């Protein structure tokens, strides 16, 4: 249920990404409009979910799923070594438990 909520929030907020309105009347704001769409956040959330459920390699799964959606808003950091940073983080988390 949390993943679904995250995805719905991503879609509803996509029209405001990088362009926050000066004033937003949250009482009368339409939640979903024709301008709403899923973003890279949804794609990567689903990749993480798949990797956790199937116990697959996270970085491989993110690359595999991400390649199917190349134009959904990945930031510049994805092009320049982001995958390696994720792999390093996973390695640290696996070898240095809390």
Residues making up the binding site for Mg(2+) = 39-41
Annotation: binding site: 39-41
C-alpha 14/C-alpha 10 separation (Å) is 6
């Amino acid at each position: 249920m949390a993943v679904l909520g995250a995805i719905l929030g991503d879609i509803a907020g996509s029209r405001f990404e990088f362009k926050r309105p000066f004033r937003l009347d949250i009482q009368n704001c339409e939640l979903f409009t024709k301008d709403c769409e899923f973003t890279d956040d949804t794609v990567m959330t689903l990749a993480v979910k798949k990797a956790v459920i199937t116990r697959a390699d996270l970085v491989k799964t993110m690359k595999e799923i991400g390649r199917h959606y190349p134009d959904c808003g990945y930031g510049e950091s994805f092009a320049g070594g982001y995958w390696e940073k994720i792999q390093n983080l996973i390695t640290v988390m696996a070898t240095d438990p809390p």
